[in-house]
Structure 1
Amino acid sequence: METIIQGKAYVLGKNIDTDQIIPAEHLVYSLSDPEEVKLYGKYALSGVPPEQGGLPEGNTPFVSEGTCHSDYSIIIAGPNFGCGSSREHAPFALQVAGAKAIVAESYARIFYRNCVDGGFVIPYETRQQLNQIIKTGDELKIDVEANTLTNVTENVTWQLNPLGDVINIVKAGGIFAYARQENLMANE
């Protein structure tokens, strides 16, 4: 896992639910077919209403037309990110699209656990309303070891809430990989 995550910001509002992250009609793709897996990336955040995502005009897609990968690797969101159903495909879709981290004021508990358990994306929390300060397209840098987020575009740094033991699970690639690594379960 990278200790420095750098990339463009994609800014969202509050209460982004799992059906907005990956709409139900796109849950039909096979997780074992590499070509179909790409479609999870293609449709990541495709259900977010225009007033909730992208630039102030609300017309910036997370994934550009005709591609399955996003130009944005760090998602900045308000409170209650990932609310809604317990859809494990939501953090998976974000990872397939190229997201490496999410920085939100808070998360729905099951979404947070799905991020960590699958080792999909790093779910950072912040006490600041960064989605009111950072703009879509700003160049950001997260120092995973220092738990800091720097807006390189504006030359401003914020402290993020520490991940604690969660980082070890994400680094290992998910809860099962971590359990094997720590000899908490038999290797298969």
Structure 2
Amino acid sequence: MKIRGRAHVFGDDVDTDAIIPGPYLRTTDVYELASHCMAGIDEDFPKKVKEGDVIVAGENFGCGSSREQAPIAIKYCGIKAVIAESFARIFYRNAINIGLIPIVCKGITKHVKDGDVIEVDLENEKIIINDKITLNCETPKGIEREILEAGGLTNYIKKQQNLKKVASN
């Protein structure tokens, strides 16, 4: 699978409070959450995103509280993947569980600026920037990849239950 989109670049230690500030957590509507994505940093961020774009960030992306609304807001804003130099552990798992692709790429922020075109080759674990620079990356594997391919943990569980029903018939 390949992803191609424009980069939206953020720095180190982007916390979940910046991704979706507390006052916007009163809704369960994923598109309402998305309309406030990154409001702690850039109120206009959702207007800049086109479907399939990617976030590129530095170290410790998604630190802070464990709110799963943070990856939900990012995903439903139109972002296909978050590429960071490192992730907070809980954000990384929450992203996989809701079907947002987290990708680790050490040193990426030295090579990318806002608006650059990023292509991610998940199978070969490569990132190509503006069709010129190629970097190695780490993509989810094993069960994490299976969950992402199913569209998130809920869909993965449903798929597994259906497989069990078919096997028992």
Select 2:53's aligned residue among 53, 56, 73: 73
C-alpha distance in 1 between matches for 2:160 and 2:93: 19
Q: Which residue matches 1:163? A: 140
Q: CA RMSD in A?
A: 2.2
Deviations 1:84-119 (A, max 9, x none): 001010000001100010111111111111001121
After superposition, residues 16-165 of structure 1 pair within 5 angstroms as: 16-31=14-29, 37-48=30-41, 61-64=44-47, 70-71=49-50, 73-119=53-99, 121-127=100-106, 129-152=107-130, 155-165=132-142
Give the partner amino acid of 2:45.
Answer: F
The Cα of 1:161 is off from its aligned counterpart by: 1.2
The Cα of 1:143 is off from its aligned counterpart by: 1.2
Give the partner amino acid of 1:43.
Answer: H
| Count of matched residue pairs | 163
Deviations 1:123-150 (A, max 9, x none): 00112x2122200000111112111111
C-alpha distance in 1 between matches for 2:12 and 2:22: 20
Maintained 8 Å contact 1:180/1:186? no
Deviations 1:14-33 (A, max 9, x none): 000000000111111233xx
If the length of structure 2 is used for normalisation, what is the TM-score?
0.87
If the length of structure 1 is used for normalisation, what is the TM-score?
0.79
Give the partner amino acid of 1:148.
Answer: K
C-alpha distance in 2 between matches for 1:5 and 1:42: 23
Deviations 1:52-77 (A, max 9, x none): xxxxxxxx94222xxxx723711110
Identical aligned pairs, as a percentage? 35
Between structures 1 and 2, the one with greater helix share = 2
Maintained 8 Å contact 1:41/1:96? yes
Q: Which residue matches 2:5? A: 7
C-alpha distance in 2 between matches for 1:76 and 1:61: 17
Unaligned 5+ segments in structure 2 are: none
The 1:185/1:21 distance shift into structure 2, 3 A limit, reads farther
